[in-house]
Chains A and B, each alone.
Chain A
Amino acid sequence: DAKTTQPNSMESNEEEPVHLPCNHSTISGTDYIHWYRQLPSQGPEYVIHGLTSNVNNRMASLAIAEDRKSSTLILHRATLRDAAVYYCILRGSGNTGKLIFGQGTTLQVKP
């Protein structure tokens, strides 16, 4: 499984946008980019995923670089409840793709 690189931690102010970067320079053509987040003492929560085009949903937006070697998760307006560990994970296509978690980015949101 291709590896991703994320900053260990980031800080944001409440109600401001947050851009969480992820580098995946060894991504293959069939790897999907998945983002999950984990709050303390809970299981991970699916946030968003994409392949080539930018994606939007009610939780966030995913901006994917043209060469697909990096991506950015965008939280448009951070709230205190967005404080979590955010994981950027590559998953192969098909039924056999596994999610292998790295260390993720711990996001702190300041009031």
Chain B
Amino acid sequence: GAVVSQHPSRVICKSGTSVKIECRSLDFQATTMFWYRQFPKQSLMLMATSNEGSKATYEQGVEKDKFLINHASLTLSTLTVTSAHPEDSSFYICSARSGVQPQHFGDGTRLSIL
């Protein structure tokens, strides 16, 4: 089945640091990638949608200057959390899709900001 790889799986860093998370589709070309965030005991919240070669579309309330998304190729998207603070600590999950096929998800990145 389709595989989406996300790296790193866990990050612990100091407040003020910028953190980059990578998302790769390993066996298909992802025309669209999605980034979600999930707080403890809550559901996934969609942050943004990106199409290869285009600027990401952010959901309402998500700061685009805080969460930088790059979708430079059909197999790679990155999310950079800039100047991270403790309130940005969360479980970040990427997802990828080819055309109208079902979306597939990575295993998430647990980000802890001290």
**Does B bind A?**
yes
Q: On chain A, which size bracket covers the interface? A: 20 to 34
Closest to B31 in A: A95
Render A40-69 as a binary contact track against B, CB cut-off 8 A, 1 for contact: 011111100100000000000000000000
Please give the residue numbers on chain B whose beta carbons come within 8 Å of chain A beta carbons, in ascending order: 1-2, 4, 6, 31-32, 34, 36, 43-46, 49, 91, 93-95, 99-100, 102-108, 110
A-B contact pairs, 9 of them (CB 8 A): A41-B91, A93-B100, A95-B32, A97-B100, A98-B49, A100-B46, A101-B43, A101-B45, A101-B46
Q: B102 — which chain A residues lie within 8 A by C-beta? A: 34, 46, 49
Render A69-80 as a binary contact track against B, CB cut-off 8 A, 1 for contact: 000000000000
Q: B95 — which chain A residues lie within 8 A by C-beta? A: 43-44, 99
Closest to B42 in A: A103
Please give the residue numbers on chain A whose beta carbons come within 8 Å of chain B beta carbons, in ascending order: 34, 36, 38, 41-46, 49, 87, 93-95, 97-104
Main secondary structure of the interface of B (DSSP, over half): strand
Q: Give Cα A93 to B100, complex, Å.
A: 7
